[in-house]
């Protein structure tokens, strides 16, 4: 059964286009800027990492300790060739064990809106569970609550919209620091996990 929302089926086209370039492509500048806000060596998991080029490679180039998860076997094989020293697993984010550890950063570029609304909410909860206090989350999804057909797979995609994403993140201890767009009109939610208060109420 395909867990990649149609991406395994279009892997050759994807690999020939977006997945072929190192450090170039839509989103690279935004991810690099975000990566530079994390300390060198910080552990970052890239959910829906694809073949590792161009996005995960930015994390590696910025001296972060990167990990990848993707449900498409062809992409995971390409990832292993592209970034041989970076751990990657072929798993769906809905049931991945996320390497059984916590992270300083979670990145999900072009993934969230491929999932059902229920799975998007559940993934946000799971992300809150694997982020260290103060850890960062960057994901893309349209600011408007809309449904459309994915340009590459033709399958239905849906954004919960900024209001619902913010409400749901807030409910699980994630705060949005900023939202912005790139040259491809991808909308970014740049958030962090609230650190526990040091106050000691009596």
Ligand X SMILES: C[S@@+](CC[C@H](N)C(=O)[O-])C[C@H]1O[C@@H](n2cnc3c(N)ncnc32)[C@H](O)[C@@H]1O
Binding site for ligand X (CB under 6 A): 3-5, 7, 18, 27, 48-50, 55, 69-72, 75, 92-94, 109-111, 114
CA pair distance 139, 99, nearest whole angstrom: 20
Q: Where are the beta strands (DSSP E) in 62-173?
A: 65-70, 88-90, 103-108, 131-140, 147-149, 156-158
Q: How far is the CB of 107 from ligand X (least distance, A)?
A: 8
> Given the complex with ligand X, which of 24 and 170 has the nearer CB atom?
24
Q: How far is the CB of 17 from ligand X (least distance, A)?
A: 10
- Residue carrying the six token digits 């989103």: 27
SS3 of 175, please? strand
In this structure, what are the phi and psi dihedrals at residue 62, rounded to the nearest 5 degrees?
Answer: -90, 20
Q: Using the 8-state DSSP alphabet, how is residue 83 labeled?
A: S
> Given the complex with ligand X, which of 114 and 128 has the nearer CB atom?
114
Percentages helix, strand, coil for the chain (3-state, rounded to 5) are 35, 25, 40
Q: How far is the CB of 5 from ligand X (least distance, A)?
A: 4
Q: How far is the CB of 173 from ligand X (least distance, A)?
A: 23
Q: How far is the CB of 46 from ligand X (least distance, A)?
A: 7
> Given the complex with ligand X, which of 32 and 194 has the nearer CB atom?
32
SS3 of 73, please? helix
């Amino acid at each position: 059964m395909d867990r990649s929302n149609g991406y395994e089926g279009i892997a050759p086209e994807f690999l020939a286009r977006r997945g072929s370039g190192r450090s170039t492509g839509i989103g690279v500048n935004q991810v690099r800027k975000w990566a530079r806000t994390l300390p060198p060596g910080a552990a970052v998991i890239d959910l829906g990492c694809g073949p590792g080029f161009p996005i995960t490679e930015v994390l590696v180039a910025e001296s972060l300790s990167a990990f990848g998860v993707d449900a498409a076997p062809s992409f995971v094989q390409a990832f292993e060739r592209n970034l041989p020293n970076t751990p990657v697993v072929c798993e769906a984010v809905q049931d991945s064990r996320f390497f059984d550890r916590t992270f300083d950063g979670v990145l999900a570029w072009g993934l969230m809106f491929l999932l059902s609304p229920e799975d998007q909410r559940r993934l946000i909860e799971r992300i809150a569970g694997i982020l260290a206090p103060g850890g960062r989350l960057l994901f893309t999804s349209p600011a408007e609550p809309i449904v459309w057909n994915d340009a590459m797979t033709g399958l239905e995609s849906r954004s919960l919209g900024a209001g619902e994403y913010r409400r749901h993140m807030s409910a699980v201890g994630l705060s949005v620091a900023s939202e912005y767009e790139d040259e491809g009109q991808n909308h970014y939610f740049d958030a962090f996990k609230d650190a526990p208060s040091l106050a000691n109420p009596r």
